Structure 1
Amino acid sequence: MNVRSEGTGVAVPEADTPDEIFVGGRWTRGRGTLIESVNPADGKVFAQLHGAVVDDVDLAVDAGLRAAAGSGWATWLPHERAAVLHRIGNALEANVDRIGALQTLDTGKTLTETRALARSAAGTFRFMAAALETMEGAMTPARGNFLTLATYEPMGVVGAITPWNSPIASDAQKIAPALAAGNAVVSKPPVWAPWVTLLLARLCEDAGLPTGLLSVLPGPGRTVGEALVAHPQVSKVSFTGGTTTGRHLAHVAADKLMPITLELGGKSPTIVFSDADLDQAVAGVLFGVFSSSGQSCIAGSRIFVHSSIHDEFVDRLVAGARQLHVGPGDDPRTQVGPMVTHSHRDGVAAMVDAAVEQGAQVLCGAGIPDDPALQSGAYYLPTVLTGVDNAATICQEEVFGPVAVVLSFDDEDDLVAQANDTVFGLACGIWTRDFVKGWRAAQAIRAGTVWMNTYKQFSISTPFSGLKDSGIGTEKGRDGIRSYMNQKSIYVDLSGHALPWATPQEES
């Protein structure tokens, strides 16, 4: 039997949406609140799940500790752990369509995007497997008659808390390096989109991951997530989500003296210099803001355009935004799908309405599509605003929807000051034919990632981090594994003699 949501062509096997959670290697019916997954394309419930409770965190952590010790996972040779990660990556690759369909039903994203996210997850497991096999310790320069080594060891049990806007890719970005490092992982997927993480657990199980090393506990962040971070035997947590929640979790981690990685919000500037290739810039800005329906922490939603090309650029941007196809994720024409929930859509609309009340001018969008076929979905038109300065609320607070604000600039120094005038520091886009100018701006902007003449391009081999309120810590890259390990220094005597301080001295 397939689960199908009326009004869409997306169907998934009923076996992919069971009312079960994964606790310490056991599939069991949750004892928590009922979670209803709504297809945002039509507003209809397509699956239900009873979530985890706080006690499940204790069970999962205990099982993880036992599994790590009983299986010897931490002491497996690197190539042996890597072989399991490769099998998981291959399983993800083989199930791209299955994962994509499930995530499209859960989040409303286009099938093109959800399949790409599944392939990205597969690549992440493979990259971490390769990085694990080639990871080295270090023999540090000797400062005496001894050998000094820097080695790395697993932490034990780590927590992974992932967002709803890109579940499978975010899952892999945390779980793969944590497992590679030799840890057990307790994952807390988003309440709005739990299914692909549970499917990942099944694929891990089938790939031969030792039982108990992975648990998946859907449930509210304020209970399950909080308990996971606060658990005394959880040695690290990686969280992707909102800044307010991230700041709170950082306090909890600080009380434990526990390391935490936080990938939080953004209000990223996109800069269009006067010498930019306008065809390239317009296409890139549209993609940077409106892909994923704007539900992206790195969305380039503050668009700074040089005054000499401002009007032409804005005309072309607005024309392009109006031409974007809005529709359900299973329609191959769709570029902008529904938002994840109706309540989230209404929150975005409220922010746009407030901006208009504060003087913003609407150049396009700012409403629900007229198409009768889309009325029951959580749709919002691609929106371009102008007429406000960088201090406006709409320019300072993350909207997390398909909304962009265009601002003008003349002076490069003033541009940099405005671009940096935000509590966030996640990403930036720069459009120019002048490499020196672009390089200068890239160095001046305080952001963890800067794209020049492109946007939203990622590589698992390249580190990702945020500055200021956009987070702390780094994910991805070769050192992504070491972020889930403790460093240890080992000194080995080469002299064969007792320490002279402790050796009795003859009296003269």
Structure 2
Amino acid sequence: MAQNLKLYINGEWVDSSNPEMQDILNPANQEVIAKAPKATKEETEEAIKIAKSAFESGAWSDRTPQERAKVLLQIAEKMEENLDELAELEMKNNGKTLREAQSDAADAANTFRYYAGLLDHPSGVTYQAIEDLQTMIVKEPMGVAGLIVPWNFPLLMSVWKIAPALAAGNSIILKPAEITPVTAVKVFELIDQTDLPKGIAHLVMGSGSVVGQTIAESDDVDVVSFTGSTGVGRNIMQAATGNLKKVSLELGGKSPNIIFDDADLETAVDYALFGIFMGSGQVCSSGSRILVQEGIYDEFVAKYVEKAKGIKVGPGNDESSQMGAIVSEKHMESILEYIRIGKEEGGNLACGGSRIQRDGMEKGFFIEPTVFTDVTSDMKIVREEIFGPVVAIQKFKDEAEAVRIANDTEFGLAGAVFSEDQNKAMRVIRKVRAGITWVNAYHLTNVQAPWGGYKQSGIGRSLGTYGLDEYQETKQININLDPKPIRFFE
């Protein structure tokens, strides 16, 4: 029997007053694995009110960095003790392979460890620019942080926000995606076993139009951090203008992967496959546009298509599966519609393009790895984020054209360059307008490095010291070393 999930408010697990529950499905087989509450506006406001009161009490915000670090390490330890369960839940709820879910769970625990360690580092600046005036620059927590996370990395995206927000000394309200709340519930069960004061952390499940909107609009929320689509990001920015709260947005992408003639072909093909088909293409930073120089275009396409056809798609609990399910039927239909449009626009469908309903996958939401070749920049499949296992391969002549095509997008999240000429690779990657970039690699990153994009891919950064800054205010404190009357009006 599917578990009925509960809200976590003021340190207690509570039922929503709204009797309506949402079925949470395993996208590999449509099995109902849980039933999630749909919190009301009033319940969301109550959680915000409690979070504000808890912040103002100083029970957490007044603790020393070392004391906060100790609690973050407790959370990390609890997660490490439960890595297998976290990975299993993530696989069942999101549809990704167990290998990917295990990696996410380990990275999530490491994120708490990283921010705990960061709190042990001295911070702040002091200087004397004016005679007898000593100035200090200090960082302080903002207050209540509203954290809204997507469905593609339910566990990791939650932790990317929770860890720095708590490290900074804030109270938090986490809203997981409606269809993938299961691992967030487990994380809060583990948080509940630590020394985090009651009322600091809250988990409120429900719709974006109710819970998300309430968080974004609330005058008692001081910062809102959102990861998701560019359209929803715009709505959150508009809703946040009431009290001019700080907004951090990590949004969509249509990232270019540039392959030059002199690239190591085997390496380029391998990373280009990983760049789009990892996570079934449901990754904001996916290399969904592959730009290949004309001298190796045909050879690259032939090798790429052959390998794409060989990717084993299947349920996440099958160890032989290399690519898992699409997160929901609705999103699967959206991807299939883009594939239909791509064919209609004249793109050459080199492989894939269909839903898989065989070998025990009849009920699941599976799509073949799909490759379009000979595309042009005006096509929808090249311009719009599909967020699925669909890649478009485009030809270019020289450096200048590669950069022009790469930057011909409203997005600017990620990008890569493959070339054995390091000087050329650096020239080009410096010109790619994106926040997360690689040379001769794709998707490799670490918690120490800032994550975020240019243009309509968002505002602000996650991870690293930059991620901590997103949840802190910067204050100057000026100390008069020789206090005496200023006599300004004499």
Fold shared, TM-score > 0.5 on shorter chain: yes
In the alignment, is residue 20 of structure 1 matched against residue 6 of structure 2?
A: yes
Task: Map 1:232-381; keep pairs closer than 5 Å.
Answer: 232-369=219-356, 371-381=358-368
- C-alpha deviation, 1:156, in angstroms: 1.0
Q: Residue 317 of structure 2: SS of its match in structure 1?
A: coil
**Corresponding residue number in structure 2 for 1:150:** 137
Amino acid at match of 2:6: E
Q: Residue 185 in 1 paired to residue 172 in 2? A: yes
- Superposed CA offset, 1:266-314 (max 9, x none): 0000010101111111110000000100001111010000110001100
Deviation of 1:368 after TM superposition, in Å, equals 1.8
The corresponding residue for 1:424 is 411
TM-score (norm 1): 0.94
Deviations 1:113-172 (A, max 9, x none): 111111111111111111112141110342231111111111111100000000111111
Bigger mean CA deviation after superposition, 131-140 or 242-251: 131-140
SS in structure 1 opposite 2:279?
A: helix
Cα contact 2:357–2:364 (8 A) shared by 1: no
Cα distance in 1 for partners of 2:349, 2:356 equals 15
- Residue 51 of structure 1 deviates from its aligned partner by 2.1
2:98 to 94, 98, 111: 111
Q: Secondary structure at the match of 2:262?
A: coil
Structure 1 residue 253 displacement after superposition: 1.7
Name the SS for the 2:129 alignment partner: coil
Q: Residue 498 of structure 1 is aligned with which of 478, 485, 490?
A: 485
Q: What residue is the counterpart of 2:199 in the other structure? A: 212
How well do the aligned residues superpose, as a CA RMSD in angstroms? 1.3
**TM-score (ref. length: structure 2):** 0.98
Q: C-alpha deviations, 1:240-268, integer Å up to 9, x for none?
A: 00000001111122342111000000000
AA paired with 1:84?
A: V
State the Cα distance separating 1:403 from its structure 2 match: 0.2
- For the 8 Å contact 1:187–1:217, the answer to whether it is kept is yes
Contact 1:307 1:410 (C-alpha < 8 Å) held by counterparts: yes
SS at match of 1:474: coil
Give the Cα–Cα distance (whole angstroms) in 2 for the partners of residues 244 and 482 of structure 1. Answer: 25
* TM-superposed deviation, 1:71: 5.5
User: What's 2:434 paired with?
Assistant: 447
1:455 partner SS: coil
Q: Residue 322 of structure 2: SS of its match in structure 1?
A: coil
Q: Deviations over 1:303-351 (max 9, x none)?
A: 0001100011001100110110100001111111110011211110011
> What SS is found at the alignment partner of 1:501?
coil
Q: Which runs of 5+ in 1 are unaligned?
A: 4-13
Aligned to 1:7: none
Q: What is the aligned counterpart of 1:30 among 16, 19, 26? A: 16
Q: Residue 25 of structure 1: CA displacement?
A: 1.5
**Residue type of the partner of 1:20?**
K
2:185 to 180, 189, 198: 198
Alignment correspondent of 2:117: 130
State the aligned residue count: 489
Look up the equivalent residue of 2:474 and give its one-letter code: Q
Q: Distance in 1 between matches of 2:56 and 2:357?
A: 59
Other structure's SS at 1:165 match: coil
CA distance in 2, matches of 1:186, 1:192: 18
212-221 or 65-74: bigger deviation: 65-74
Does residue 469 of structure 1 match 2:463? no
Matched-pair contact (CA < 8 Å) for 2:256–2:289: yes
Map Cα deviations across residues 423-449 of structure 1 (whole Å, 9 max, x no partner).
000000111111111101110000001
Which letter does structure 1 place at the counterpart of 2:147?
A: A
Match of 2:425 in 1: 438
Structure 2 counterpart SS, 1:481: helix
- Residues 21 and 51 of structure 1 are in contact (CA less than 8 Å); yes or no, is this contact kept in structure 2? no
Paired residues for 1:40-189 under 5 Å: 40-70=27-57, 72-189=59-176
Verify the 8 A CA contact 1:19 1:30 in the aligned structure 2.
no
Structure 2 CA distance for aligned equivalents of residues 72 and 211 of structure 1:
9
Contact 1:163–1:241 (CA<8 Å) still a contact in 2? Answer: yes
CA contact under 8 A between 2:59 and 2:197: conserved in structure 1?
no
**Matched residues in 2 for 1:71 and 1:495: separation?**
32
Structure 1 residue 491: Cα displacement: 0.8
What stretches of structure 1 move > 6 A for 4+ residues in a row?
none
Offset of 1:416 from its aligned partner? 0.4
The aligned runs of 1:4-15 (5 Å cut-off) are none
* Sequence identity (%): 36
Any idea what SS the aligned residue of 2:445 has? coil
Contact 2:277 2:323 in 1 (8 A): yes
Query: Is the contact made by 1:426 and 1:470 (CA closer than 8 Å) also made in structure 2?
Result: yes
Instruction: In structure 2, give the amino acid aligned to 1:111.
Output: L
Matched letter for residue 291 of structure 1? M
Native 8 Å contact 1:71 1:210 kept in 2: no
Separation in structure 2 between the aligned mates of residue 175 and residue 115 of structure 1, nearest angstrom: 19
Matched, 1:479 2:438: no
Does the CA contact (< 8 Å) of 1:461 and 1:478 recur in 2? Answer: yes
- Note closer, same or farther for the CA distance 1:35–1:422 as it changes in structure 2 (3 Å cut): same
Q: Which amino acid aligns with 2:293?
A: H
Q: Distance in 1 between matches of 2:344 and 2:404?
A: 26
Separation in 1 of the partners of 2:160 and 2:110? 10
Q: Residues of 2 paired with 1:136 and 1:175: CA distance?
A: 21
Where does the alignment leave 5 or more consecutive residues of structure 2 unmatched? none
> Counterpart in 2 of 1:408?
395
Partner Cα distance (2:93, 2:326) in 1: 11
1: CA distance, partners of 2:469 / 2:375: 44
| Corresponding residue SS for 2:222 | strand
After superposition, give the CA deviation of every residue in 1:202-241 in whole Å (9 maximum; x if it has no partner). Answer: 1111022111111111111011100011011000000000
Greater shift, 222-231 or 26-35, is seen at: 26-35
For 1:90, what is the secondary structure of its paired residue? helix
Per-residue deviation at 1:112? 0.8
Task: Check conservation: 2:254, 2:286, Cα contact below 8 A.
Answer: yes
Which amino acid in 2 is paired with 1:498? P
Higher mean alpha-carbon deviation, 55-64 vs 304-313, is at 55-64
DSSP 3-state at the match of 1:151? strand
